[in-house]
């Protein structure tokens, strides 16, 4: 097979081999020397296509991770859903970690802070992060280091927002309803009892 044409198309290159068109990244063009008038065998073409697909999926995985702030478990699932093998997924994940694009520790800290600022208690934070694929022990480790001033300020702020909606009830029922609501937001009984509910 002979490469008859090489054209730059946006961020990729259009390579024509025996009247068939292929799109390759610049890295693959350089690595496999996909230049006009060069001969290429079927095995080399297959390798170039496979590696190019992995690079494309790497780029998509990076975009997915950055755009949606996804952790390793979610990026792995995304790549498996794209039809990659376990080996290819591991290579992409390792490269993302090596390039500091994928860092579950930093991401967990950011997500926990964000959830605290949205007035979520620890139980709800744990549940949400566990559903995202984070390990329980990692979640627990990061929750030990939270800013408790911010945490209790958000609990007080939430209480301030909701307390008036229960004014129509008798005092005992009012307090029970407030406690039930705060409990549903993930706050523990001891955290709720730190509030002045009168």
Residues 142-174: pLDDT tens digits?
999 999 999 999 999 999 999 999 999 999 999
- State the pLDDT at residue 54: 86
Question: What predicted TM-score, i.e. pTM, was given to this entire model?
Answer: 0.74
Q: Cβ neighbours of residue 134 under 8 Å, at least 6 residues apart?
A: 71, 73, 104, 108
Can you list the positions of beta strands (E) in the chain?
A: 3-9, 12-17, 20-24
Q: Cβ neighbours of residue 129 under 8 Å, at least 6 residues apart?
A: 108, 111, 112, 115, 139
- The predicted-structure confidence for 91-109, as pLDDT tens digits, reads as follows 999 999 999 999 999 999 9
- Under CATH, which architecture does the 3-98 domain have? Orthogonal Bundle (1.10)
- The predicted-structure confidence for 36-47, as pLDDT tens digits, reads as follows 999 999 999 999
Which residue ranges make up each domain of the chain? 3-98, 104-193
Query: How many whole angstroms separate alpha carbon 29 and alpha carbon 35?
Result: 8
Other CB atoms closer than 10 Å to residue 33's CB: what's the count?
A: 11
Query: How many whole angstroms separate alpha carbon 193 and alpha carbon 51?
Result: 58
């Amino acid at each position: 097979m002979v490469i008859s044409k090489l054209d730059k198309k946006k961020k990729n290159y259009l390579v024509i081999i025996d009247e068939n068109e292929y799109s390759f990244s610049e890295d693959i063009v350089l690595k496999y020397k996909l230049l006009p008038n060069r001969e290429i065998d079927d095995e080399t073409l297959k390798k170039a296509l496979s590696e190019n697909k992995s690079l494309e999926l790497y780029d998509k995985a990076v975009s997915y991770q950055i755009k949606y702030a996804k952790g390793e478990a979610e990026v792995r699932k995304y790549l498996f859903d794209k039809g990659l093998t376990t080996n290819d997924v591991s290579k992409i994940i390792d490269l993302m970690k090596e390039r500091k694009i994928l860092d579950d520790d930093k991401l967990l800290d950011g997500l926990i802070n964000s959830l605290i600022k949205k007035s979520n208690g620890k139980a709800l934070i744990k549940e949400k992060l566990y559903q995202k694929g984070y390990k329980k022990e990692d979640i627990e480790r990061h929750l030990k280091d939270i800013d408790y001033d911010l945490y209790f300020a958000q609990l007080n702020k939430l209480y301030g927002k909701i307390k008036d909606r229960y004014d129509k009830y008798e005092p005992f029922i009012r307090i029970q309803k407030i406690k039930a609501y705060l409990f549903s937001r993930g706050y523990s009984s001891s955290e709720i009892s730190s509030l002045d509910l009168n």
